[in-house]
């Protein structure tokens, strides 16, 4: 099977002021066409960060991400926007529909962005509303729909742009167990019938059970399926060299250092996570 | 990959309108503030313009005409030595310009009027009884008695205040005293036939009107005169008329003055009124700007996450910018139109009866004003009001729109 997503030695560190928050530490991932892959891991392990980077929503500090053979880290902002529009569908935990649009219009919107006419877009929207089994709710606004229904609209919206992959960040987290299960079945069904690749982050055991492949993250690294121990037990703070600090913070940092007001706080050895 | 992202104007409009409807109370309050501001601005502008055009008309038509031609230096010296000895040279030009509605010749000089025991300094104005009526409306200001009668050489009209001061009443013998160009003082007997009340105190306080022929004989001036007063067909043609004469007449012999230059006081008031108009516009524009800016920034803050989502699913930053700008422009467009409409209705409802300021009339008459102001909405001020509001709208819309394009996706999407 062909690879759709390939990441190589991906590193990402967030900065809050001069405080580094390491998020990803050397991620090597290979997702094949048609997979129903699930990213699991504790809160804060870097699932959303990884999805956002793969989805060209955020950039990484180092490493490479190839989606359909294109290195998305090298794209400009507008190129990324276009890339997302034509290749990736997003499903978020909080549904994130456009409030002022009806369900149908929410779905049609991405088609219109792709340059389709309004009529054609609405046709496509109708089709996807049928696919997610809520065609009778097309005229309702998001605030007139239940969470499960909204998430179905979100899935329809993600599919309407005819993407090659759908990235879903904890799609069932806000839903009750049964609604969540129905949604998983829907996604599995779409995955099998249409061949759309899914990459889903989730804590939900039902989602993990449905996975054709389970990838576990811990402290920004991919760990063995049965273990939560990082493979490389080095400090992930090494991902946060001062050179990677954003410019503004760096200037601040330098000034502070110059006047010896405050030194950079490095974590002491005792605080490092070890097995 | 090569395809771009496109959105039709209707989608933008739909989004803008629905987003404005999202918080109806806020949108309504913003609109009401704008409507109020623009309506007041419209009314104040109209009052200012009405006031101005009244003042212009009063000033021009009651006394000065649109332009005057003097012998060079007369306006400064006010001396009969600086007179036009051959008025023919100027008056033969009059026929060739259709912009000239009428003209008259005058002699202007200072003198003294006395009757019985009272006397007062006066400004003698000698004019042709018929030609004067083609140029100014001063004959309409006769409140008692009659206008100068053709052929009656000793007729005299006095400003109401002068007549009061010296205690002259209709039919009285009034002795006028003046200086001939050569310098000798002469006096002459006239009969008071009419009282003039123009509303402009400096006229009512000083004017003594006599027939031109009489003055020419009395002051031994032959065919000479001091002023040739011209009335243009429209106020706006004043400059044109001045230019026409300036081309034809030597500036060594003549001075040609538009009405603004004939009374520095009036000029100052015109300038003041322009400045005043500017200040009003500025205040209103700042008000509108701050209001829109505030509304847009709050609504931006509320929609932070949604904007993140819209960008995430493929909307370009430029499209986001256009969406938000359109929203601000739409808001201002509606507010400004309704405000202007409300202002116009207000102006319209007041234009019949005017605003009566007769309580303050003394202060206002001084500026050639009637005590009742009739607001007048000119195209100029409409363009000024709507134009500046639009510019303000763009200014107020651009910043939030630009700010939206700078939003951090990773942060926006993590908001729960
Ligand atoms: N914008 C940010 N600024 C600073 N730190 C951040 C930011 N976003 C994420 N982080 C940090 O990066 C790490 C990874 O966060 P991420 O959201 O990817 O975790 P997650 O696995 O999705 O967790 P959850 O299951 O709770 O959603 C966390 O330690 C988090 O505190
Ligand atoms: Mg997450």
| Per-residue pLDDT, A238 | 63
Same domain, A91 and A132: yes
The complex's ipTM works out to 0.83
| pLDDT tops 60 at residue A52 | yes
**Domain residue limits at A45:** 3-239
* The pLDDT of residue B373: 75
Residue closest by Cα to atom 31 of ligand 1: A44
Do B95 and B55 reside in the same domain of the chain?
A: no
Query: Does the beta-carbon distance from A113 to B414 stay under 8 Å?
Result: no
For an interface test with A, give the residue of B19, B27, B326, B413 to mutate (most A CBs within 10 A).
B413
Contact across the interface for B3 and A114, Cβ inside 8 Å: yes
Nearest-atom number in ligand 1 for the CA of A12 is: 12
* Interchain pair A82, B18: CB under 8 A: no
Q: Which of B206, B216, B197, B67 is nearest to B143 (CA)?
A: B197
A103 and A34 in a single domain? The answer is yes
Pairing mode, if any, of strands A70-71 and A62-67?
antiparallel
**B327 to chain A: which residues are within 8 Å by CB?**
none
Residues A249 and A164 grouped into a single domain: no
Residues B25 and B80 in one domain: no
Segment A205-220 mean pLDDT: 90
Displacement of CA A113 from its chain's centroid (Å): 21
pLDDT confidence of residue A228: 46
Do both A40 and A149 map to the same domain? yes
B306 contacts A52? CB cut-off 8 A = no
Smallest CA–CA separation between A93 and chain B, in Å? 9
CA dist., res. B171 & res. B302, Å (int): 84
E strands, B23-99, in order: 67-71
CB contact under 8 A, B5 and A57: no
Q: Is the pLDDT of residue A51 over 90?
A: yes
Place of tokens 């005058």: B106
Write out the two tokens for A96.
Answer: 């994130």
Residues B65-91 have pLDDT tens digits of 889 999 999 988 989 999 999 898 888
Write the pLDDT tens digit of every residue in A107-147: 999 999 999 999 999 999 999 999 888 999 999 999 999 99
Nearest to B227 by CA among B255, B265, B196, B186: B255
Atom of ligand 1 nearest to the CA of B408: 1
Tell whether A182 and A246 lie within a shared domain.
no
Work out the pLDDT band at B2, boundaries 50, 70, 90.
very low
- Length of chain A, in residues: 275
Determine whether the interchain pair A52/B5 forms a contact, defined as Cβ–Cβ distance below 8 Å: no
* Tally of domains within chain A: 2
Classify residue B34: in a domain, yes or no: yes
Nearest CA in chain A to B1: A83
pLDDT (tens digit, 9 = 90+) per residue, A61-113?
889 999 988 899 899 988 999 999 999 999 998 889 999 999 999 999 999 99
In a domain, B317, yes or no: yes
pLDDT at A227 over 80: no
* Domain boundary pick from B197, B217, B250: B250
Q: Which of residues 27-56 of A touch B (CB under 8 A)?
A: 48-49, 52, 55
* Residue A119 token pair: 């009529």
Q: Are residues B344 and B289 in the same domain?
A: yes
pLDDT above 90 coverage of chain A, percent: 53
A32-50: average pLDDT: 92
- What is the CATH classification number for the domain harbouring A212? 3.40.50.300
pLDDT at residue A272 greater than cutoff 60: no
**Same domain (yes/no): B78, B36:** no
Shared domain check, B156 and B36: no
- B87 and B52 in a single domain? The answer is no
Instruction: Specify whether B303 is located in the same domain as B402.
Output: yes
Residue B196 reports pLDDT greater than 50 = yes
Cα(B116)–Cα(A16) distance, rounded to whole angstroms? Answer: 98
B330 lies in the same domain as B402: yes
Considering only alpha carbons, which residue of chain B is nearest residue A55? B312
Query: Is pTM beyond 0.80 here?
Result: no
Q: How far does residue A203's CA lie from ligand 2's centre (Å)?
A: 10
Is the pLDDT assigned to residue B232 strictly greater than 80?
yes
- Interface size between A and B, measured as CB pairs under 8 A: 90
Q: Which residues of B touch A (CB under 8 A)?
A: 1, 3-8, 10-11, 15, 18-19, 21-22, 305-306, 309-319, 409-410, 413-414, 416
First to last CA, chain A: 36
Examine the pLDDT at B103 and tell me if it is beyond 70. Answer: yes
Q: What is the 3-state secondary structure (H, E, C) of chain A?
A: CCEEEEEEEEEEEEEECCEEEEEEEEEEEEEECCCEEEEEECCCCCHHHHHHHHCCCCCCCEEEEEECCEEHHHCCHHHHHHHHHHHEEEECCCCCCCCCCCHHHHHHHHHHHECCCHHHHHHHHHHHHHHCCCHHHCCCCHHHCCHHHHHHHHHHHHHHCCCCEEEEECCCCCCCHHHHHHHHHHHHHHHHHHCCEEEEECCCHHHHHHCCEEEEEECCEEECCCCCCCCCCCCHHHHCCHHHCCHHHHHHHHHHHHCCCCCCCCCCHHHCCCC
With CA atoms as reference, report the closest residue to B261 among B60, B124, B106, B107: B60
Domain shared by A83 and A204, yes or no = yes
Cβ contacts (< 8 Å) between A81 and chain B: which residues?
A: 5, 311, 314-317
Query: What is the position in ligand 1's atom list of the atom closest to the CA of A52?
Result: 18
Same domain assignment for residues B29 and B119: no
Domain boundary (B250, B284, B312) is at B250
- Give CA–CA dist B33/B129, Å, rounded: 56
Give me chain B's average pLDDT, please: 87
pLDDT score of A266 more than 80:
no
Do residue A148 and residue A267 come from a single domain?
Answer: no
**B211 and B293 share one domain:** no
- Percent pLDDT > 70 in chain B is 95
Instruction: Give B38→chain A minimum CA distance, Å.
Output: 30
Same domain, A98 and A223: yes
pLDDT for the residue B367:
53
Instruction: Give pLDDT, residue A275.
Output: 38
At B368, is the pLDDT very low, low, confident or very high (cuts 50, 70, 90)? low
Asked if residue B65 belongs to a domain, the reply is: no
How many domains are contained in chain B? 2
Residue A226 has pLDDT above 50, yes or no: no
Kindly tell me if the per-residue pLDDT of B170 is higher than 70.
Answer: yes
Check residue B93 and give its pLDDT.
Answer: 86
A267 and A187, same domain (yes or no): no
> Whole-angstrom Cα distance, residue A150 to residue B298?
26
Better-predicted residue by pLDDT, A210 or A259: A210
How far is CA A26 from its chain centroid?
Answer: 17
Measured in angstroms, the CA of B306 and the nearest CA of chain A are apart by 6
Q: What is the pLDDT of residue B1?
A: 40
Q: Which residue in this structure is represented by tokens 């993407």?
A: A163
Interface contact B306-A70, CB threshold 8 A = no
**C-alpha to C-alpha distances, B75 to A220, B80, B103, B263, nearest whole angstrom:** 92, 11, 18, 10
Same domain assignment for residues A175 and A269: no
Q: Are residues A142 and A111 in the same domain?
A: yes
Where is average pLDDT lowest: B249-263, B361-375, B380-394, B395-409? B361-375
Mean pLDDT for the stretch of residues A254-275 = 56
Q: Are A84 and B317 an interchain contact pair (Cβ–Cβ within 8 Å)?
A: no
The chain-wide mean pLDDT, for chain A, equals: 85
User: B78 and B176: one domain?
Assistant: yes
Token representation of residue A35: 């997979």
Select from B250, B280, B313 the last residue of a domain.
Answer: B250
Same domain, residue pair B99 and B238: yes
Q: Residues enclosing ligand 1, CB less than 6 A?
A: A 14, 16, 21, 23, 41, 43-49; B 410-411, 414
Q: Any idea of the CA torsion for A71, A72, A76, A79, to the nearest 10 degrees?
A: 110
Q: Residue B393 belongs to what domain range?
A: 9-59+267-414
A85 touches B at CB < 8 Å = yes
Q: Examine the domain organization and report whether A98 and A169 are in the same domain.
A: yes
Q: Which among B19, B305, B410 has CB closest to A52?
A: B410
Q: Are strands B67-71 and A36-41 parallel, antiparallel or unpaired?
A: unpaired
């Amino acid at each position: 099977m062909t690879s759709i997503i390939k990441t190589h030695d991906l590193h990402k560190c967030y900065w809050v002021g001069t405080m580094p928050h390491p998020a990803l530490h050397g991620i090597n991932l290979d997702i094949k066409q048609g997979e129903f892959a699930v990213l699991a891991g504790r809160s804060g392990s870097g699932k959303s960060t990884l999805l956002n980077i793969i989805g060209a929503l955020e950039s990484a500090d180092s490493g490479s991400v190839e989606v359909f053979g294109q290195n998305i880290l090298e794209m400009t902002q507008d190129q990324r926007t276009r890339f997302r529009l034509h290749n990736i569908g997003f499903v978020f935990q909080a549904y994130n529909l456009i409030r002022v649009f009806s369900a149908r219009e929410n779905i049609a919107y991405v088609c219109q962005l792709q340059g389709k006419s309004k009529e054609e877009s609405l046709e496509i929207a109708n089709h996807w509303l049928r696919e997610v089994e809520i065609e009778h709710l097309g005229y309702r606004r998001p605030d007139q729909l239940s969470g499960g229904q909204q998430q179905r609209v979100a899935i329809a919206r993600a599919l309407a742009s005819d993407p090659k992959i759908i990235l879903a960040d904890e799609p069932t987290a806000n839903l009750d167990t049964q609604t969540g299960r129905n949604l998983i079945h829907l996604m599995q069904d779409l995955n099998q019938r249409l061949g759309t690749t899914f990459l889903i982050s989730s804590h939900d055991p039902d989602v993990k059970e449905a996975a054709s492949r389970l990838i576990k993250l811990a402290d920004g690294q991919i760990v063995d399926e049965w273990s939560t121990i990082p493979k490389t037990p080095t400090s992930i703070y090494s991902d946060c060299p001062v050179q990677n600090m954003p410019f503004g913070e760096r200037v601040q940092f330098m000034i502070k250092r110059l006047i010896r007001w405050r030194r950079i706080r490095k974590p002491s050895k005792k605080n490092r996570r070890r097995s | 990959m090569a395809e771009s992202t496109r959105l039709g104007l209707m989608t933008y409009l739909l989004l803008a309108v629905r987003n404005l409807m999202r918080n109806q109370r806020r949108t309504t309050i913003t609109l009401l503030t704008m409507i109020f501001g623009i309506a007041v601005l419209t009314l104040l502008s109209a009052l200012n313009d009405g006031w101005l055009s009244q003042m212009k008309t009063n000033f021009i038509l009651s006394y000065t005409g649109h332009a005057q031609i003097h012998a060079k230096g007369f306006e400064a010296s006010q001396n009969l030595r600086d007179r036009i000895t051959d008025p023919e040279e100027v008056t033969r030009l009059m026929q060739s310009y259709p912009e000239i509605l009428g003209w008259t010749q005058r002699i202007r000089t200072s003198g003294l009027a006395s009757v019985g025991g009272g006397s007062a300094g006066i400004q003698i104005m000698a004019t042709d009884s018929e030609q004067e009526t083609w140029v100014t409306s001063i004959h309409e200001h006769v409140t008692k008695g009659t206008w100068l009668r053709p052929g009656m050489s000793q007729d005299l009209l006095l400003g109401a205040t002068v007549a009061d001061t010296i205690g002259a009443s209709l039919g009285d013998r009034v002795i006028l005293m003046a200086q001939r160009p050569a310098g000798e003082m002469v006096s002459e007997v006239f009969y008071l036939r009419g009282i003039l009340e123009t509303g402009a105190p400096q006229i009512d306080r000083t004017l003594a009107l006599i027939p031109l022929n009489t003055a020419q004989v009395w002051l031994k001036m032959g065919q000479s005169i001091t002023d040739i007063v011209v009335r243009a067909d429209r106020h706006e043609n004043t400059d044109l008329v001045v230019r026409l004469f300036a081309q034809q007449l030597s500036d060594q012999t003549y001075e040609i003055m538009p009405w603004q230059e004939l009374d520095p006081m009036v000029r100052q008031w015109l300038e003041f009124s322009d400045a005043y108009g500017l200040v009003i516009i500025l205040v209103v524009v700042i008000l509108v700007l701050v209001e829109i800016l505030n509304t847009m920034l709050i609504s931006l803050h509320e929609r932070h996450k949604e904007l993140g989502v819209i960008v995430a699913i493929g909307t370009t930053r430029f499209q986001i910018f256009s969406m938000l700008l359109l929203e601000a422009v739409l808001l201002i467009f509606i507010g400004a139109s309704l405000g202007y409409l409300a202002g116009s209705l207000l102006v319209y409802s007041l234009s019949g009866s005017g605003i009566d300021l007769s309580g303050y009339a003394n202060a206002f008459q001084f500026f050639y004003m009637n005590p009742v102001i009739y607001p007048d909405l000119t195209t100029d001020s409409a363009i000024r009001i709507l134009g500046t509001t639009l510019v303000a709208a763009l200014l107020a819309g651009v910043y939030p729109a630009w700010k939206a394009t700078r939003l951090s996706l990773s942060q926006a999407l993590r908001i729960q």
